[in-house]
Structure 1
Protein backbone atom coordinates (compact mmCIF):
# COMPACT_ATOMS: atom_id res chain seq x y z
CA UNK A 1 0.00 0.00 0.00
CA UNK A 2 2.79 2.41 0.67
CA UNK A 3 6.35 2.78 1.71
CA UNK A 4 9.73 1.29 2.99
CA UNK A 5 13.86 1.52 5.68
CA UNK A 6 16.11 -0.97 7.80
CA UNK A 7 15.32 -4.15 9.70
CA UNK A 8 12.27 -4.36 11.92
CA UNK A 9 14.37 -5.22 14.96
CA UNK A 10 16.79 -2.37 14.25
CA UNK A 11 13.91 0.06 13.98
CA UNK A 12 12.45 -1.16 17.26
CA UNK A 13 15.85 -0.59 18.86
CA UNK A 14 15.97 2.94 17.47
CA UNK A 15 12.54 3.75 18.84
CA UNK A 16 13.30 2.20 22.23
CA UNK A 17 16.66 3.96 22.56
CA UNK A 18 15.27 7.30 21.48
CA UNK A 19 12.16 7.31 23.63
CA UNK A 20 13.57 10.21 25.65
CA UNK A 21 14.03 12.25 22.46
CA UNK A 22 10.35 12.16 21.55
CA UNK A 23 8.47 15.11 22.98
CA UNK A 24 4.88 16.06 23.52
CA UNK A 25 3.52 19.42 22.48
CA UNK A 26 3.88 20.56 26.09
CA UNK A 27 7.67 20.15 26.09
CA UNK A 28 8.51 21.49 22.63
CA UNK A 29 10.46 24.79 22.92
CA UNK A 30 8.23 27.85 22.79
CA UNK A 31 10.32 29.30 19.97
CA UNK A 32 9.32 26.29 17.84
CA UNK A 33 5.65 26.64 18.77
CA UNK A 34 5.79 30.31 17.77
CA UNK A 35 7.36 29.44 14.40
CA UNK A 36 4.72 26.90 13.34
CA UNK A 37 2.61 27.74 10.28
CA UNK A 38 -0.52 29.69 11.19
CA UNK A 39 -3.33 27.49 12.49
CA UNK A 40 -1.07 24.48 13.17
CA UNK A 41 -0.24 22.62 16.38
CA UNK A 42 2.35 19.96 17.25
CA UNK A 43 1.27 16.33 16.80
CA UNK A 44 4.72 14.82 17.47
CA UNK A 45 8.25 16.14 17.86
CA UNK A 46 11.82 15.19 18.66
CA UNK A 47 14.77 17.49 19.39
CA UNK A 48 18.48 16.70 19.50
CA UNK A 49 21.88 18.37 19.79
CA UNK A 50 23.51 15.44 18.00
CA UNK A 51 22.65 16.21 14.39
CA UNK A 52 24.89 19.21 13.81
CA UNK A 53 26.76 20.32 16.93
CA UNK A 54 26.54 22.78 18.51
CA UNK A 55 23.08 23.57 17.13
CA UNK A 56 19.89 22.10 18.55
CA UNK A 57 17.48 20.83 15.91
CA UNK A 58 13.80 19.99 16.38
CA UNK A 59 11.78 17.86 13.99
CA UNK A 60 8.04 18.51 14.24
CA UNK A 61 4.97 16.87 12.71
CA UNK A 62 2.39 19.65 12.63
CA UNK A 63 -1.35 19.34 12.03
CA UNK A 64 -4.11 21.87 11.47
CA UNK A 65 -5.82 22.80 14.71
CA UNK A 66 -9.22 22.04 13.16
CA UNK A 67 -8.20 19.29 10.73
CA UNK A 68 -10.93 16.86 11.88
CA UNK A 69 -13.54 18.99 10.16
CA UNK A 70 -11.62 19.57 6.92
CA UNK A 71 -12.21 17.65 3.68
CA UNK A 72 -10.15 16.68 1.87
CA UNK A 73 -7.77 15.99 4.73
CA UNK A 74 -5.00 18.63 4.79
CA UNK A 75 -1.29 17.94 4.60
CA UNK A 76 0.64 17.45 7.83
CA UNK A 77 3.94 19.29 7.41
CA UNK A 78 7.13 17.70 8.68
CA UNK A 79 9.14 20.75 9.78
CA UNK A 80 12.82 20.92 10.72
CA UNK A 81 13.90 23.86 12.88
CA UNK A 82 17.36 24.96 13.97
CA UNK A 83 17.36 26.67 17.38
CA UNK A 84 19.77 29.53 17.96
CA UNK A 85 19.73 32.69 20.07
CA UNK A 86 16.24 31.93 21.34
CA UNK A 87 14.77 31.63 17.85
CA UNK A 88 13.60 28.69 15.76
CA UNK A 89 14.57 28.93 12.09
CA UNK A 90 12.88 26.63 9.57
CA UNK A 91 15.58 24.82 7.58
CA UNK A 92 13.50 22.21 5.74
CA UNK A 93 9.93 21.06 5.17
CA UNK A 94 8.18 18.09 3.61
CA UNK A 95 4.39 17.72 3.29
CA UNK A 96 4.52 14.10 2.08
CA UNK A 97 6.30 12.10 4.82
CA UNK A 98 3.63 12.35 7.53
CA UNK A 99 0.48 10.77 6.12
CA UNK A 100 -2.82 12.64 6.13
CA UNK A 101 -5.75 11.56 8.26
CA UNK A 102 -7.47 9.84 5.33
CA UNK A 103 -4.40 7.97 4.01
CA UNK A 104 -4.59 5.07 6.45
CA UNK A 105 -7.64 3.28 5.15
CA UNK A 106 -9.90 2.75 8.16
CA UNK A 107 -7.70 4.62 10.64
CA UNK A 108 -5.58 7.73 10.97
CA UNK A 109 -1.98 6.62 10.24
CA UNK A 110 -0.42 9.34 12.35
CA UNK A 111 -2.72 9.79 15.32
CA UNK A 112 -1.70 10.22 18.96
CA UNK A 113 -1.28 6.44 19.33
CA UNK A 114 0.42 5.42 16.07
CA UNK A 115 2.47 8.25 14.62
CA UNK A 116 5.85 9.16 16.07
CA UNK A 117 9.30 10.59 15.43
CA UNK A 118 12.47 9.04 16.85
CA UNK A 119 16.07 10.22 16.84
CA UNK A 120 19.18 8.01 16.78
CA UNK A 121 22.57 9.64 16.32
CA UNK A 122 22.42 11.85 13.21
CA UNK A 123 19.29 10.12 11.92
CA UNK A 124 15.61 10.46 12.60
CA UNK A 125 12.74 8.17 11.66
CA UNK A 126 9.09 8.97 11.10
CA UNK A 127 6.60 6.17 11.77
CA UNK A 128 3.19 5.97 10.14
CA UNK A 129 0.96 2.98 10.82
CA UNK A 130 -2.49 1.56 11.47
CA UNK A 131 -3.79 -1.35 13.54
CA UNK A 132 -7.50 -1.52 12.82
CA UNK A 133 -8.82 -3.65 10.01
CA UNK A 134 -5.54 -3.27 8.15
CA UNK A 135 -2.27 -3.67 10.04
CA UNK A 136 0.82 -2.00 8.64
CA UNK A 137 3.76 0.14 9.71
CA UNK A 138 5.85 2.46 7.59
CA UNK A 139 9.23 3.80 8.74
CA UNK A 140 10.99 6.58 6.81
CA UNK A 141 14.51 7.56 7.85
CA UNK A 142 16.60 10.65 7.11
CA UNK A 143 20.21 11.29 8.07
CA UNK A 144 22.01 14.59 8.56
CA UNK A 145 24.85 15.03 6.07
CA UNK A 146 27.48 17.40 7.54
CA UNK A 147 29.08 18.04 4.14
CA UNK A 148 25.80 19.25 2.66
CA UNK A 149 24.48 20.55 5.97
CA UNK A 150 21.15 18.98 5.11
CA UNK A 151 18.97 15.99 5.91
CA UNK A 152 19.01 13.35 3.18
CA UNK A 153 16.58 10.48 2.71
CA UNK A 154 18.23 7.26 3.83
CA UNK A 155 15.70 4.45 3.79
CA UNK A 156 12.09 3.39 4.07
CA UNK A 157 10.51 0.14 5.20
CA UNK A 158 6.89 -0.88 4.89
CA UNK A 159 5.63 -3.94 6.74
CA UNK A 160 2.11 -5.33 6.79
CA UNK A 161 0.33 -8.14 8.61
CA UNK A 162 -2.89 -10.10 8.08
CA UNK A 163 -5.13 -12.16 10.31
CA UNK A 164 -3.83 -15.68 10.83
CA UNK A 165 -6.24 -18.25 9.42
CA UNK A 166 -4.80 -21.01 11.60
CA UNK A 167 -7.09 -22.46 14.28
CA UNK A 168 -4.19 -23.78 16.35
CA UNK A 169 -4.53 -22.72 20.01
CA UNK A 170 -1.01 -21.25 20.12
CA UNK A 171 -1.20 -19.51 16.72
CA UNK A 172 -0.27 -15.84 16.50
CA UNK A 173 -3.20 -13.52 15.81
CA UNK A 174 -1.34 -11.85 12.92
CA UNK A 175 1.16 -13.15 10.38
CA UNK A 176 3.44 -11.20 8.09
CA UNK A 177 1.95 -10.14 4.79
CA UNK A 178 5.21 -8.89 3.41
CA UNK A 179 7.91 -6.29 3.73
CA UNK A 180 9.18 -3.74 1.24
CA UNK A 181 12.51 -2.00 1.64
CA UNK A 182 13.84 0.98 -0.30
CA UNK A 183 17.28 2.45 0.26
CA UNK A 184 18.79 5.68 -0.97
CA UNK A 185 21.27 5.65 -3.81
CA UNK A 186 24.34 7.51 -2.44
CA UNK A 187 25.09 8.69 -5.99
CA UNK A 188 21.72 10.47 -6.16
CA UNK A 189 21.13 12.12 -2.79
CA UNK A 190 17.58 13.29 -2.07
CA UNK A 191 17.06 16.11 0.40
CA UNK A 192 14.24 15.87 2.89
CA UNK A 193 12.23 18.60 1.21
CA UNK A 194 12.38 16.85 -2.17
CA UNK A 195 11.57 13.34 -0.95
CA UNK A 196 8.35 11.75 -2.24
CA UNK A 197 7.06 8.38 -1.10
CA UNK A 198 5.67 5.64 -3.32
CA UNK A 199 2.02 5.69 -2.28
Structure 2
Protein backbone atom coordinates (compact mmCIF):
# COMPACT_ATOMS: atom_id res chain seq x y z
CA UNK A 1 0.00 0.00 0.00
CA UNK A 2 2.77 2.47 0.92
CA UNK A 3 4.65 1.70 -2.30
CA UNK A 4 1.51 2.34 -4.37
CA UNK A 5 0.91 5.66 -2.61
CA UNK A 6 4.51 6.76 -3.16
CA UNK A 7 4.35 5.84 -6.85
CA UNK A 8 1.05 7.70 -7.22
CA UNK A 9 2.54 10.80 -5.58
CA UNK A 10 5.58 10.66 -7.86
CA UNK A 11 3.29 10.65 -10.91
CA UNK A 12 1.55 13.88 -9.89
CA UNK A 13 2.40 16.99 -11.93
CA UNK A 14 4.89 19.41 -10.39
CA UNK A 15 3.44 22.42 -8.63
CA UNK A 16 4.89 25.85 -7.82
CA UNK A 17 5.00 25.01 -4.11
CA UNK A 18 7.50 22.24 -4.94
CA UNK A 19 9.91 24.62 -6.67
CA UNK A 20 13.10 25.24 -4.69
CA UNK A 21 12.76 28.32 -2.50
CA UNK A 22 15.83 29.78 -4.23
CA UNK A 23 13.76 30.01 -7.41
CA UNK A 24 10.42 30.98 -5.85
CA UNK A 25 12.07 33.97 -4.15
CA UNK A 26 13.32 35.21 -7.56
CA UNK A 27 9.94 35.24 -9.34
CA UNK A 28 9.36 38.84 -10.51
CA UNK A 29 6.82 40.87 -8.56
CA UNK A 30 3.33 40.75 -10.07
CA UNK A 31 3.84 37.26 -11.54
CA UNK A 32 3.03 33.76 -10.35
CA UNK A 33 4.26 30.36 -11.50
CA UNK A 34 2.06 28.83 -14.19
CA UNK A 35 4.06 25.60 -14.62
CA UNK A 36 7.60 24.32 -14.62
CA UNK A 37 9.80 21.39 -15.57
CA UNK A 38 13.02 20.12 -14.00
CA UNK A 39 15.92 18.44 -15.75
CA UNK A 40 19.44 18.85 -17.07
CA UNK A 41 19.58 21.95 -19.26
CA UNK A 42 23.35 22.34 -19.57
CA UNK A 43 26.61 20.47 -18.97
CA UNK A 44 27.01 20.91 -15.22
CA UNK A 45 25.03 17.81 -14.21
CA UNK A 46 22.74 19.66 -11.78
CA UNK A 47 18.95 19.89 -11.79
CA UNK A 48 17.89 23.00 -13.68
CA UNK A 49 14.39 24.44 -14.13
CA UNK A 50 12.24 25.88 -16.88
CA UNK A 51 9.62 28.10 -15.24
CA UNK A 52 6.65 29.72 -17.00
CA UNK A 53 5.21 32.69 -15.13
CA UNK A 54 2.16 34.85 -15.78
CA UNK A 55 -0.09 37.40 -14.09
CA UNK A 56 -2.78 36.05 -11.78
CA UNK A 57 -5.60 37.46 -13.95
CA UNK A 58 -4.22 35.94 -17.19
CA UNK A 59 -7.21 34.94 -19.37
CA UNK A 60 -8.12 35.10 -23.06
CA UNK A 61 -10.00 38.34 -22.30
CA UNK A 62 -7.08 39.73 -20.34
CA UNK A 63 -3.94 38.02 -21.71
CA UNK A 64 -0.59 38.62 -20.06
CA UNK A 65 2.92 37.84 -21.19
CA UNK A 66 4.10 34.37 -20.18
CA UNK A 67 7.84 34.62 -19.73
CA UNK A 68 9.82 31.39 -19.82
CA UNK A 69 12.68 31.55 -17.34
CA UNK A 70 15.71 29.25 -17.29
CA UNK A 71 17.18 28.75 -13.83
CA UNK A 72 20.43 26.82 -13.53
CA UNK A 73 21.62 25.23 -10.32
CA UNK A 74 25.02 26.32 -9.05
CA UNK A 75 27.54 24.04 -7.29
CA UNK A 76 26.43 25.47 -3.91
CA UNK A 77 22.79 24.47 -4.76
CA UNK A 78 21.68 28.09 -5.24
CA UNK A 79 19.98 29.08 -8.52
CA UNK A 80 20.79 31.69 -11.13
CA UNK A 81 18.40 33.09 -13.72
CA UNK A 82 20.34 32.21 -16.87
CA UNK A 83 17.91 33.35 -19.59
CA UNK A 84 14.42 34.70 -20.21
CA UNK A 85 12.13 34.83 -23.24
CA UNK A 86 8.73 36.54 -23.15
CA UNK A 87 7.54 35.26 -26.57
CA UNK A 88 8.07 31.48 -26.82
CA UNK A 89 5.06 30.58 -24.63
CA UNK A 90 1.91 31.76 -26.39
CA UNK A 91 -0.56 34.04 -24.64
CA UNK A 92 -4.06 32.92 -23.64
CA UNK A 93 -5.66 34.70 -26.63
CA UNK A 94 -3.34 33.32 -29.34
CA UNK A 95 -5.08 29.96 -29.78
CA UNK A 96 -8.52 30.84 -31.05
CA UNK A 97 -11.10 29.16 -28.81
CA UNK A 98 -8.55 27.58 -26.46
CA UNK A 99 -5.50 28.62 -24.50
CA UNK A 100 -2.61 27.37 -26.67
CA UNK A 101 -0.31 26.64 -23.74
CA UNK A 102 -2.51 25.85 -20.76
CA UNK A 103 -4.96 23.58 -22.63
CA UNK A 104 -2.34 21.74 -24.66
CA UNK A 105 0.11 18.90 -24.23
CA UNK A 106 2.81 18.72 -21.55
CA UNK A 107 3.77 22.35 -22.06
CA UNK A 108 7.47 21.89 -21.32
CA UNK A 109 9.70 18.90 -22.06
CA UNK A 110 13.40 18.58 -21.16
CA UNK A 111 15.75 15.92 -22.51
CA UNK A 112 19.55 15.88 -22.60
CA UNK A 113 20.21 19.67 -22.80
CA UNK A 114 17.30 20.11 -25.25
CA UNK A 115 13.94 21.51 -24.27
CA UNK A 116 10.69 21.99 -26.14
CA UNK A 117 7.84 24.41 -25.54
CA UNK A 118 4.59 22.80 -26.69
CA UNK A 119 1.88 25.22 -27.75
CA UNK A 120 -1.22 23.49 -29.17
CA UNK A 121 -5.00 23.54 -29.42
CA UNK A 122 -7.62 20.89 -30.12
CA UNK A 123 -10.91 22.75 -29.94
CA UNK A 124 -12.32 24.23 -33.12
CA UNK A 125 -8.94 24.38 -34.84
CA UNK A 126 -6.44 21.59 -34.28
CA UNK A 127 -2.76 22.53 -34.40
CA UNK A 128 0.57 22.22 -32.63
CA UNK A 129 3.54 24.58 -32.54
CA UNK A 130 6.55 22.94 -30.89
CA UNK A 131 9.67 25.06 -30.46
CA UNK A 132 12.91 23.37 -29.43
CA UNK A 133 16.15 24.86 -28.09
CA UNK A 134 19.46 23.22 -27.21
CA UNK A 135 22.38 24.11 -25.01
CA UNK A 136 25.52 25.12 -26.91
CA UNK A 137 28.59 24.53 -24.75
CA UNK A 138 30.82 26.77 -26.87
CA UNK A 139 28.54 29.78 -26.48
CA UNK A 140 27.36 28.83 -22.95
CA UNK A 141 23.75 29.50 -23.88
CA UNK A 142 20.66 27.95 -25.41
CA UNK A 143 20.08 28.28 -29.15
CA UNK A 144 17.03 27.81 -31.34
CA UNK A 145 17.08 24.28 -32.77
CA UNK A 146 13.80 23.66 -34.60
CA UNK A 147 10.14 24.62 -34.81
CA UNK A 148 7.51 22.17 -36.02
CA UNK A 149 4.05 23.49 -36.81
CA UNK A 150 1.29 21.05 -37.75
CA UNK A 151 -2.42 21.47 -38.34
CA UNK A 152 -5.33 19.13 -38.98
CA UNK A 153 -8.70 19.77 -40.61
CA UNK A 154 -12.11 18.25 -39.97
CA UNK A 155 -12.72 15.28 -42.24
CA UNK A 156 -16.11 15.42 -44.00
CA UNK A 157 -15.80 11.77 -45.13
CA UNK A 158 -18.26 9.82 -42.93
CA UNK A 159 -16.06 6.71 -43.25
CA UNK A 160 -12.81 8.47 -42.40
CA UNK A 161 -11.16 9.64 -39.21
CA UNK A 162 -12.54 12.77 -37.56
CA UNK A 163 -9.41 14.68 -38.56
CA UNK A 164 -7.18 14.51 -41.60
CA UNK A 165 -3.73 16.01 -42.12
CA UNK A 166 -3.71 19.69 -42.97
CA UNK A 167 -0.21 21.07 -43.19
CA UNK A 168 3.21 20.58 -41.65
CA UNK A 169 6.03 23.07 -41.59
CA UNK A 170 9.48 22.47 -40.14
CA UNK A 171 11.78 25.40 -39.52
CA UNK A 172 15.36 24.33 -38.80
CA UNK A 173 17.95 26.55 -37.19
CA UNK A 174 20.29 28.43 -39.50
CA UNK A 175 23.70 27.20 -38.33
CA UNK A 176 25.37 30.23 -39.88
CA UNK A 177 23.09 32.61 -37.95
CA UNK A 178 22.25 31.01 -34.61
CA UNK A 179 19.47 32.59 -32.55
CA UNK A 180 19.87 32.69 -28.79
CA UNK A 181 16.90 31.65 -26.67
CA UNK A 182 16.52 35.14 -25.16
CA UNK A 183 16.38 36.73 -28.64
CA UNK A 184 14.02 34.23 -30.29
CA UNK A 185 10.78 35.71 -31.68
CA UNK A 186 7.83 34.01 -33.42
CA UNK A 187 7.83 34.27 -37.22
CA UNK A 188 4.96 36.76 -37.21
CA UNK A 189 6.56 39.27 -34.79
Give the TM-score, by structure 2 length: 0.85
Counterpart residue number, 2:49: 58
- Whole-Å Cα distance in 1 between the matches of residues 40 and 123 of structure 2? 36
1:180 to 2:158 alignment: no
Correspondence for 2:100: 109
- 2-structure distance, mates of 1:181, 1:60: 26
Deviations along 1:90-138, one digit per CA (max 9) or x if unpaired, are 1111011000011111111111554610011110000001111011011
Unpaired runs of at least 5, structure 2:
1-10
> RMSD of the TM alignment (CA)?
1.9
Match of 2:90 among 99, 105, 111: 99
Which of 176, 179, 184 is matched with 1:190 structurally?
Answer: 179
Q: Which residue of 2 aligns with 1:83?
A: 73
Residue equivalent to 2:132: 141
1:160 and 2:130 equivalent? no
Conserved? CA contact 2:40–2:113, under 8 Å: no
Name stretches of at least 5 consecutive residues in structure 1 with no aligned partner: 1-19
Which gives a bigger RCO, structure 1 or 2 (Cα 8 Å, sep 6+)? 1
Q: Does the 8 Å CA contact 1:109/1:115 hold for their aligned counterparts? A: no
Q: TM-score, normalised by structure 1?
A: 0.81
Displaced runs of 4+ in structure 1, greater than 6 A?
none
Matched, 1:132 2:123: yes
Given that residues 116 and 128 in structure 1 are in contact (C-alpha distance below 8 angstroms), is that contact kept between their aligned partners in structure 2?
A: yes
Larger radius of gyration: 2
SS at match of 2:23: helix
Preserved CA contact (<8 Å) 1:55 1:83: yes
The Cα shift of 1:23 comes to: 3.3
The match for 1:16 is none
Structure (1/2) with the larger strand percentage: 1
CA deviation map 1:19-42 (0-9, x unaligned): x8x733243222212111112222
Q: Is the 8 A contact 2:41 2:114 kept in 1?
A: no
